[in-house]
Amino acid sequence: MLRITALAGGIGGSRFLRGLLRAAPDAQVTVIGNTADDITLHGLHVSPDLDTVMYTLGGGIEESQGWGRTGETFAVASELAEYGAEAQWFTLGDRDLATHLIRTRMLAAGYPLSAVTEALCDRWQPGVRLLPMTDDRVETHVVVASASGSEDDGASERAIHFQEWWVRLHAEVPARRIVLVGADQAKPAPGVLDALASADVIVLPPSNPVVSIGPILAVAGVRDAVRAATAPVVGLSPIIGGSPVRGMADAALQAIGVPTTAAGVAELFADLLDGWLVDTVDADAVPVVEAAGVRCAAVPLWMTDVDAAAAMARAALDLAEEVRAR
Amino acid sequence: MLRITALAGGIGGSRFLRGLLRAAPDAQVTVIGNTADDITLHGLHVSPDLDTVMYTLGGGIEESQGWGRTGETFAVASELAEYGAEAQWFTLGDRDLATHLIRTRMLAAGYPLSAVTEALCDRWQPGVRLLPMTDDRVETHVVVASASGSEDDGASERAIHFQEWWVRLHAEVPARRIVLVGADQAKPAPGVLDALASADVIVLPPSNPVVSIGPILAVAGVRDAVRAATAPVVGLSPIIGGSPVRGMADAALQAIGVPTTAAGVAELFADLLDGWLVDTVDADAVPVVEAAGVRCAAVPLWMTDVDAAAAMARAALDLAEEVRAR
């Protein structure tokens, strides 16, 4: 049985994984999920990326937006607003909130996030083994200029939680730096290193390279484990024609000085990658990527539906096979 | 300005208080609320009696049942059930849940329950000063026979939370004893003793005498403070014609060996009471109660609407005035 290990963020990763399960229905898939987007809201531990994977693969996602629960309602959020409770810029749906209640209660009882995630998946049966990247706390913070500060010195900066930058500020305030607080002290969650070492294929889906894939690789030991793995490592570009497929990946790439191009992202992962897929519109990136020693091919990368995602997954697995055969 | 201090449980107390505010619109009313019904559900601190007072006086109560929020929905509870999360016998509504989220978050941040209650009332503007009886943890537990045990020995007993007995078991399992865990070590919340000492009238609304009024009086020092108060203490019978007006007060009275009669409840409070109101159908209890040294009158005690509750409140204030004048 083919063992596939994928590093996944939220929407893009989840949609790709759904295609992967269709493309390789008999594979044993382990997903290492980003938890650096996690945030405590109204006292509840929210894990947006893990939940997006779980809901998407478990059939509970709101398809129209790619996140949140289908048929969601907002009675609790509306009442919280009546009380004036912050943060009002992040709205928790009622159905979604039940997940966070259970997670928060289990964490308070001493269960690690990995055990909580397993318990939640017991309901959703996502068809993959979903592991948080770590049971420790890692948080993506974004350093932005203070409202008052126009000068370029430390005193005029402040660090805000990634979600505040992403959801509240729509990433419109330029990010000066992105800091993965806690990543260097975090230990990979149980199963993570083993899933990398024993994989037949390691896949980097078209997730945000900076704030989704980046934090997973930043957990102490994970990047080394991916590099040391015997499995071919193949990735799919989240950038098509110089723009992010979704979200505001360009703003995040800009913060770390990486060009918003299919080749730019490949370079970010060059030490890991054996293969890289770019969209057909980026075919001229193929020789650039290959010059860096990474096998590259151009295929359609728009995940317009599950079939399209499955075709992408098939192309990724084919590329892995090709790399392995060389 | 007339200063009235009332000891209140949930539904009966709240409806009476609404009448009291109509009967004495210029009075300064302090309500000492029962918190021994409080329970932690899904990690949230639920204070049913405080919330019932707050919602009723603040215009947010579901009138048809006397508890819970008007226009309530149950999306979160339905999802929690999908996860199989306990306790499923106590259903939290979505709107109500927002209150518990804020309470739990504030308690976790170190605020005492009294400060939390004040913050919540800032939205609801109940028109009274609502104080929890204590900021410490007091819980009413009910000792029942074990499912297996038919013999009358300690080994065949178990203690359950009041809410489990009341809501899950509908008080159908006989209560052997009622234990107010923590009451003797609990300190009255800030303002409680002062509200008793400085009151012009102290009122015991027609709340459950055992599990609503009882726990308030059981908080260390409160019963003594009521006894020592210069204000007349008047109460209203929650029993009419040998049956509780609402709920299952008879089951609770039985547990402590008190007859379910208007005179029986008066006797329970005989050390405190200056005046006691019974319903007109219980007019023959008047001489019995008066023989115990408590001024007693028979007036209609069915709170069919706010007008009826206001008439009861007026009768209670009149009785207090009469006692004071003697």
The model's pLDDT over A107-159, given as tens digits with 9 standing for 90+, comes to: 999 999 999 999 999 999 999 999 999 999 999 999 999 865 455 555 689 99
Say whether the peptide bond before residue A315 is cis (omega within 30 degrees of 0). no
Contact A240, A281 (CB under 8 A): yes
Per-residue pLDDT tens for A275-312?
Answer: 999 999 999 999 999 999 999 999 999 999 999 999 99
Residues B146 and B127 both lie in one domain: no
Q: What is residue B152's predicted lDDT score, i.e. its pLDDT?
A: 56
B55 and B198 in a single domain? The answer is yes
Nearest partner of A237 among A208, A283, A277, judged by Cα: A277
Q: Last residue of some domain: B148, B182, B216? A: B182
Q: What is the distance between the alpha carbons of residues B241 and B254, in angstroms, rounded to a whole number?
A: 16
| Amino acid symbol at B216 | I
In angstroms, rounded to a whole number, what is the distance separating the alpha carbons of residues A303 and A16? 8
Strand, coil or helix: what is A319?
A: helix
Strand partners, B6: B31, B203
A140 touches chain B (CB under 8 A): no
pLDDT at A154: 56
For position A70, which CATH number holds?
3.40.50.10680
Residues B282 and B261 occupy one common structural domain: yes
Are B56 and B178 found together in one domain? no
Q: Are residues A93 and A214 in the same domain?
A: yes
Containing structural domain, residue B155: 139-182
| A82 and A122 fall within a common domain | yes
What pLDDT shows up at residue A248? 78
Final residue of a structural domain among B118, B152, B182: B182
Residue B91 in contact with partner chain A when CB distance is under 8 A: no
CA–CA distance, B199 with A113 (Å, rounded to integer): 52
Contacts of A82 in chain B (CB under 8 A): 98, 123
- The answer on B230 and B175 residing in a single domain is no
Nearest residue of B to residue A123, measured between CA atoms = B83
CA-nearest of A104, A121, A103, A141 to A252 is A141
Q: B75 contacts in A (CB within 8 Å)?
A: 73, 75, 94-95
How many residues are present in chain A? 326
Which chain B residues contact residue A59 at CB under 8 A? Answer: none
pLDDT of B99 strictly over 70: yes
To the nearest whole angstrom, how far is the Cα of A37 from the nearest Cα of chain B? 21
Q: Which of B82, B106, B11, B105 is nearest to B50 (CA)?
A: B11
The predicted pLDDT at position B252 comes to 86
For residues B158 and B26, state if they share a domain: no
What is the rounded distance in angstroms from the CA atom of residue A10 to the CA atom of residue A57?
12
Determine the average pLDDT of the residues in B77-88. 95
| CB atoms A102 and B76 under 8 Å | no
Q: What three-state secondary structure class fits B125?
A: coil
Q: What is the model's pTM?
A: 0.93
Number of separate domains in chain A: 2
- Both B247 and B157 in one domain: the answer is no
**Is B194 found in the same domain as B166?**
no
A219: enclosing H helix or E strand: none
Asked if B95 is an interface residue toward chain A (Cβ–Cβ < 8 A), one would say: yes
Query: Are residue B213 and residue B304 in the same domain, yes or no?
Result: yes
Distance to chain A for B82, nearest Cα, Å: 8
Judging contacts by C-beta atoms under 8 Å, the chain B residues touching residue A80 are 98, 101-102
**Which tokens in the block code for residue A81?**
């607003």
Going through B135-176 in order, the beta strands assigned E by DSSP cover: 139-145, 157-161
∠B166-B172-B178 over CA atoms, to 5°? 55
CB-CB under 8 Å, A98 with B79: yes
The answer to whether B84 contacts A123, with C-beta atoms less than 8 Å apart, is: yes
Residue A290: predicted pLDDT: 96
Dist CA A219 CA A183 (whole Å): 5
Alpha-carbon gap, residue B81 to B88, rounded angstroms:
7
Both tokens of residue B125?
């503007």
Q: Output the pLDDT for position B250.
A: 84
Instruction: Say yes or no: A313 and A284 in one domain.
Output: yes
